[in-house]
Amino acid sequence: MKIRTLLVLIIVSLVFVIAADASAHPAQLPTFDSPILPGDPPPGSVPSLMDVINGLAQAVGLGTILSFLFERFAWFQNLRGEQRWWVICGLSVGLPVLAQVAIQFVPAEVWALIEPYWQSLASGFLAFFASQVAHRLQQMLSWGSTSARR
């Protein structure tokens, strides 16, 4: 159970980092006025792993995101206030530092080797996340409707 919880936290954190990276660079997002130039990533593409790691290294709201996520887990709720503070503080400081260490010490060849797997993993997770959002919206729209339940 602890491994599953950790995996969920890592995946959700990556989604928030991807979203933060996209919102941090609004000038790079295509608009109707700005054509997509050669070499630009296609709209809706997954950011590279290096972009995500850079975003994590500079994550300003990471503590807020972690607090929001951790509040959903019983193990975190069972901690005393000071213990919760240390967990959030440690991860808020530790994750960006680890990301910076990875940027500095992992060779470019390794990042290039990992990139296709990252793209597959991130695309699959985003598809799963979108299906869950669609499912939740369908539940909300059909709430109270007897014909929606089969």
**C-alpha atoms less than 13 angstroms from C-alpha of 95 in its C-beta half-sphere:** 23
Give the pTM: 0.56
Report the C-alpha gap between 72 and 8 in whole angstroms: 11
Does a structural domain hold residue 37? yes
The pLDDT confidence band at residue 80, using thresholds 50, 70 and 90, is: very high
Query: Tell me: the pLDDT tens digits for 106-144?
Result: 999 999 999 999 989 988 888 888 888 888 888 877 775
CA distances from 69 to 13, 106, 113 (A): 9, 29, 31
Does residue 92 lie within any of the structural domains?
Answer: yes
Runs of H (alpha helix) within 29-145: 49-57, 62-70, 74-77, 81-105, 108-141
Confidence check: pLDDT of 34 > 60? no
Q: What is the sign of the dihedral through the CA atoms of 112, 116, 121 and 122?
A: positive
**Is the pLDDT score of 25 beyond 60?**
no
Considering the domain boundaries, does residue 102 fall inside one? yes
Q: Is the pLDDT of residue 21 over 60?
A: no
Domain count within the chain: 1
Domain that holds residue 78: 2-106
